[in-house]
Amino acid sequence: MGATTYGDISPRTAAFVAVELLKRSTPYLILEKFGQAKTLPARKSNVMKFRRYNALSMALTALTEGVTPPSKKLTYTDITATLYQYGDLVEITDIVMDTHEDPILKETQVIMGEQAAKTVETLRFNVLKAGTSVYYANNVAGRTSVTAVAARADQRAIVRALDRQDTGHITSIVKSTPDFNTEAVLPAYVAVGHVDLKTDIRSLTGFIDVKDYGSISPWEGEIGGCEDVRYICSTIFTAWADGGSATGAGSTRISTAGANCDVYPILMFGKDAYGLIALKGEFAVTPMVINPAPSKSDPLGQRGSISWKTMQTAVILNDAWMYRYEVAATL
């Protein structure tokens, strides 16, 4: 079973490799901290079910002495998402195995751990940025009119919209470890965006840098907070190149081609806005090693491989609890 599943390494060695690979991946997995995360079970369906419990109606009728009121039942909304498999491999040759002075397996763990994390994070971001709740900078009509940078007035408008939908603040996150554990955090909304936006976000009126948080521990990639929102930046959350207005492009705004402003999405969300499969736990990722060995397709035993694969999905659970804030960026 071990040779079939993991190639030329035992299940015990594969488990060690998987843990090391996951350790390398956790700093890049920002979205994993805040979504409704589920671990992948073994030998189950390729469809994952996420559940959102609905609020109870208000009890506005006065109680009658000695009379028990009619009971209510909890209601919920189930949202299903199909799992898809992703992975990659690095070819190794017998010459490399015999002569290379570096430990190839360990070095490849580092590279592949980063690759797996960036792959999964990008897949999740592509799903989440397609949500229907959107606010364009300076409240313009659409993406092609965007030329303004992030502003506190816009943030307040989005926060007001989230509050009106009874969006829950983020109060716990998934820890940055290979294990599936959570930790409590101070209530807040979370916003994620590209590193190009750091200057504009730090320029928000009332912005507090992470170094001034005091006893609050910042998250990986977090740069600070403004009122109800904490901001995290990553290279994963890329812009739509030249997607905005021509006004200011090439002089005051970042523009890929110098014709129109690049438009950057900032995802601003609360609790249970989306769901995903955590890249954590026993079945999160499968590492495989095939040593160079003679075979029908490789008679001289010159080629082998080191690889990984994972089953993943992400889904928006409530569009009203997550806004895509589209902005330009200061050059």
Residue 206 is predicted with a pLDDT of 95
* Res. 119 pLDDT band, cuts 50 70 90: very high
Structure-block tokens of residue 55: 């609020």
Q: Write the pLDDT tens digit of every residue in 125-159.
A: 999 999 999 999 999 999 999 999 999 999 999 99
Residue 3 is predicted with a pLDDT of 45
* Res. 268 pLDDT band, cuts 50 70 90: very high
DSSP reduced 3-state for 258: coil
- Who contacts 44 (Cβ-Cβ below 8 Å, separation ≥6)? none
Question: Is residue 306 within 8 Å of 92, Cβ to Cβ?
Answer: yes
Which range of 170-179, 193-202, 304-313 scores highest in mean pLDDT? It is: 193-202
Q: Write the pLDDT tens digit of every residue in 19-60.
A: 666 666 666 789 999 998 888 766 567 888 888 788 888 889
Angle at 40 between CA 43 and CA 269, to 5 degrees: 150
Q: Is 301 left (phi over 0), alpha (psi -120 to 50) or beta?
A: left
Answer yes or no: is pLDDT of 196 > 50: yes
Q: How many CA atoms lie within 13 A of 148 on its CB side?
A: 17
Residue 14 is predicted with a pLDDT of 54
What values do phi and psi take at 98, rounded to 5?
-85, -30
Answer yes or no: is pLDDT of 224 > 70: yes
Widest pairwise Cα distance in the chain: 89
* Res. 99 pLDDT band, cuts 50 70 90: low
Distance CA 66, CA 230 (A): 49
